[in-house]
A and B are shown apart, each in its own frame.
Chain A
């Protein structure tokens, strides 16, 4: 079945540091890939997505590239801010579409950015 392996946290960085959170996946077919962010006490917000190989998703300075050859979708940001402190989830959308569609999530990575 589908699975997502995500870098274990927690990750602690200073403001303006470079961020990488690794994510690899196992799936049949060509899944869509997502990064979601969860702030304390809130639900999940979609951060970015990519629907096919070599697509780059980007939003709010975050980027991730869908790498089919390495089955990876690593999240990067060049300069983090204190407000980026949150839990980040890598997710895979089912390849079946239609009635078999569901999201499979990684375990989440807690990011803390210190001023």
Chain B
């Protein structure tokens, strides 16, 4: 069974630009969660989607948004990038919310 895949793996952007990251969950998994990992703040929850609906959101500004498609694939978007948005963005999928989460390899975003 294929694991969680994230594309792209690496991304370099400049301040003010926007970026879209993609996550394909494990087949049959309907819940997708996103986390931001930075050296200073550690791992922080961004949001969770289930059946195309955002059901839970972390404490991030509105520049961070996401969506989920009918095939459970998810995208997250960050607009007006800031230097502090440089991070590893991790996607995790689970069959249902509250079930064991499986993580992808992450997308490393660097904002210059």
Show the binding face of A for B, using Cβ within 8 Å.
36, 41-46, 49, 89, 93-94, 97-108
Contact = CB atoms under 8 A, between A and B. Distances in A.
A102 B33 contact: yes
A101 B90 contact: no
A89 B88 CA distance: 15
A100 B98 CA distance: 9
Contacts of A94: 98
Contacts of B104: 43
A43 B98 CA distance: 20
Contacts, number: 56
Interface residues of B, number: 23
Interface in B66-105: 90, 92, 97-98, 100-105
A93 B90 CA distance: 17
Interface in B42-72: 42-43, 45, 48, 50, 55-56, 58
A49 B50 CA distance: 23
Contacts of B98: 93-94, 97-98, 101
A89 B55 contact: no
A105 B50 CA distance: 21
A105 B43 contact: yes
A44 B48 contact: no
Contact of B56 (A43, A101, A104): A101
B100 A104 contact: no
Given A98-B97, A101-B48, A43 B33 contact: no
B42 A107 contact: yes
A107 B43 CA distance: 7
A49 B100 contact: yes
A101 B97 CA distance: 6
